C-alpha cells in the first residue's frame, strides 16, 4: 500500500534513526537518511541518528540533526557493534522517542537494534533497502543464512517501507505474511541549484559506489568499442569504493584511461553541476532497489541510460530514460550512448510521474506514515 493514504497530523516528534553510515559517507541509504532527517528538522521535529564510521566518531549537530557516530567494531562480523548496543540499551529505555526508525536489512546492526526494541516492547519502523541477495558468493551464502533472523526483524516491526514496487515484490517473494505492513515510499530527489551550464554532447556520467555489480566495467567496454570506431566519448565517474583500483586498471588496459575522469566524492554543488553538464547519466547495475541517481539526473533534465534490470526497469516509463538489455553488450551500449548524445533516442526529458518527487514531498509522506501509526497506537491504549 502507499502511505499517502494516511491523513497528516501536525505534531512535534522525537525521532531516533539507526543506520550503518551517515553523511559524509555516500550511497543510497546514506542519502535517504540524511535528506529525511534534515527535512524532519526543518518541519520542527527533533532527529537523532546513531551510526558507525571508519574514521569519524563522537557527537555533533549537522544541519540541525544530532549525529552520534561509533567506531566500527572490528572484532565482530556483519556490522554488529557492542558500543552501539550499550548505548541503545540505555537510550531506548528512556522513553524519550516517539519514533524509532531502523534502516537496511543487510546489516546485523539493524538486527541487534530490532532485538532490543522487541524485548522491551518498543515499536519500530523498518526501511528494508532490500536487494534480495549478497553481491559476492560468500556474501550471498551468509545472506541466505541470515534469513532466519532477518525474518524476525521484519515480523517484529510496526511497519516496513520499500522504495519501489520491485523491492516490495522481492520482499514479498522471500518473506510471506508481510503484505499488510509493507508500504512503498519512493526516494526523493535533491533540489540542485539551477545554474546555467552548457550540456556536453560527448560525455556520459556515472554516479555511485564503485562496486563490481554496479557495471562500470561495462561502460568502459562500451567507451572502448566507440573509440575503435572513431567516436571518442568521455566518462566522468563520481564515487568511491573497493572496485576503484580494478576499474582504473581496466580503463588503462582498454586504452581509454585518458577519456575517464575519476572525480571521487564531490559536494552537492558540484554534483548538481555534473548532472546538468553531462550528455547522459549511465547506470548498468545488476542490482538496484530504486536507482536514486537516475531520478536525480532526470530531475536535472539529463537523459539516463539504464540496464533493464530489477527496479531500474520502473524508470523506463519516464520521458528521457532509455533501457539496455542485461547483461549489457558493449556494442549495444555504445550505439545507445551515441543515440542519446546525438538526440535521436531522446526527444525530451520529463514530465515525470510521482516516482520522481522532491525530498520535501517524500519527508511529508514519512511523517504521515509515522503519525498515522502513532495515532492508532494511542487510540488503542
Q: Which residues in the chain belong to E strands, given as ranges?
A: 14-18, 46-53, 58-62, 65-71, 99-103, 125-127, 159-162, 182-184, 188-189, 203-207, 234-238, 260-264, 280-283, 304-307, 321-324, 357-358
Between 292-299 and 28-42, two packed helices, what is the crossing angle to 10 degrees? 60
The C-alpha cell at 45 is: 521535529
What is the per-residue pLDDT across 293-340, written as a single tens digit (0 to 9) for each?
999 999 999 999 999 999 999 999 999 999 999 999 999 999 999 999
pLDDT band at residue 355 under the 50/70/90 scheme: confident
Torsion angle, CA of 354/184/216/348, rounded to 10 degrees?
A: -10
pLDDT band at residue 94 under the 50/70/90 scheme: confident
d(CA 337, CA 220): 12
Q: Are strands 65-71 and 58-62 parallel, antiparallel or unpaired?
A: antiparallel
> How far lies 20's CA from each of 99, 104, 105, 148, 315, in Å?
18, 8, 10, 21, 27
pLDDT of residue 186: 92
> How far lies 152's CA from each of 37, 52, 156, 157, in Å?
26, 23, 6, 8
pLDDT of residue 238: 96
What is the per-residue pLDDT across 232-247, written as a single tens digit (0 to 9) for each?
999 999 999 999 999 9
The C-alpha cell at 263 is: 572525480
140 sits in which H/E element: helix 137-156
On average, the pLDDT of the chain sits at: 91
What is the per-residue pLDDT across 197-222, written as a single tens digit (0 to 9) for each?
889 999 999 999 899 999 999 999 99
Give me the domains of the chain, ranges plus CATH numbers.
3-186+357-380 (3.40.50.2000), 203-341 (3.40.50.2000)
pLDDT of residue 74: 72
Q: Does residue 381 register a pLDDT over 70?
A: no
> DSSP class of residue 8?
P
d(CA 99, CA 125): 8
pLDDT band at residue 1 under the 50/70/90 scheme: very low
Do the beta carbons of residue 302 and residue 277 sit within 8 Å? Answer: no
> How far lies 320's CA from each of 235, 342, 347, in Å?
19, 13, 7
pLDDT of residue 370: 93
Phi, psi values for residue 59, rounded to 5°: -115, 135
Which of 20, 21, 22, 14 is CA-nearest to residue 40? Answer: 14
pLDDT band at residue 2 under the 50/70/90 scheme: very low
Phi, psi values for residue 329, rounded to 5°: -100, 130
Amino acid at each position: 500500500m502507499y502511505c499517502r493514504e494516511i491523513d497528516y497530523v501536525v505534531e512535534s516528534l522525537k525521532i531516533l534513526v539507526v543506520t550503518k553510515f551517515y553523511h559524509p559517507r555516500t550511497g543510497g541509504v546514506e542519502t535517504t537518511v540524511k535528506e529525511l532527517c534534515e527535512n524532519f528538522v526543518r518541519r520542527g521535529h527533533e532527529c537523532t541518528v546513531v551510526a558507525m564510521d571508519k574514521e569519524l566518531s563522537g557527537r555533533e549537530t549537522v544541519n540541525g540533526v544530532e549525529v552520534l557516530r561509533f567506531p566500527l567494531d572490528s572484532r565482530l562480523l556483519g556490522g554488529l557493534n557492542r558500543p552501539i548496543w550499550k548505548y541503545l540499551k540505555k537510550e531506548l529505555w528512556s522513553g524519550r522517542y516517539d519514533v524509532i526508525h531502523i534502516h537496511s536489512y543487510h546489516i546485523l546492526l539493524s538486527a541487534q537494534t530490532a532485538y532490543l526494541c522487541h524485548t522491551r516492547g518498543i515499536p519500530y519502523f523498518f526501511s528494508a533497502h532490500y536487494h534480495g541477495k549478497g553481491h559476492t558468493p560468500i556474501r550471498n551464502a551468509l545472506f541466505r543464512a541470515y534469513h532466519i533472523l532477518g525474518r524476525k526483524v521484519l515480523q517484529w516491526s510496526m511497519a516496513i517501507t520499500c522504495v519501489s514496487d520491485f523491492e516490495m515484490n522481492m520482499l514479498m517473494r522471500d518473506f510471506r505474511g508481510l503484505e499488510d505492513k509493507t508500504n512503498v515510499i519512493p526516494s526523493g530527489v535533491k533540489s540542485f541549484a539551477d545554474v546555467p551550464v552548457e550540456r556536453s554532447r560527448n560525455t556520459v556520467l556515472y554516479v555511485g559506489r564503485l562496486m563490481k555489480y554496479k557495471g562500470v566495467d561495462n561502460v568502459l567496454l562500451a567507451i572502448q568499442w566507440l573509440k575503435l570506431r572513431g567516436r571518442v566519448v568521455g566518462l566522468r565517474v563520481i564515487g568511491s569504493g573497493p572496485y576503484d583500483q580494478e576499474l582504473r586498471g581496466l580503463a588503462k588496459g582498454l586504452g581509454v584511461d585518458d577519456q575517464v575522469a575519476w572525480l571521487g566524492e564531490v559536494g552537492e554543488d558540484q554534483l548538481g553541476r555534473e548532472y546538468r553538464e553531462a550528455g547522459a547519466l549511465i547506470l548498468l547495475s545488476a542490482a538496484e532497489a530504486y536507482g536514486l541517481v537516475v531520478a536525480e539526473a532526470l530531475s536535472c533534465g539529463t537523459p539516463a541510460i539504464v540496464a533493464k534490470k530489477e527496479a531500474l526497469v520502473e524508470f523506463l516509463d519516464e520521458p528521457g530514460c532509455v533501457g539496455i538489455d542485461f547483461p549489457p553488450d558493449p556494442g549495444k551500449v555504445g550505439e545507445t550512448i551515441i543515440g542519446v548524445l546525438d538526440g535521436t533516442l531522446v526527444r525530451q526529458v520529463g514530465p515525470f510521474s510521482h516516482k520522481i518527487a522532491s525530498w520535501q514531498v517524500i519527508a511529508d509522506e514519512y511523517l504521515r506514515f509515522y503519525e498515522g501509526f502513532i495515532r492508532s497506537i494511542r487510540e488503542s491504549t
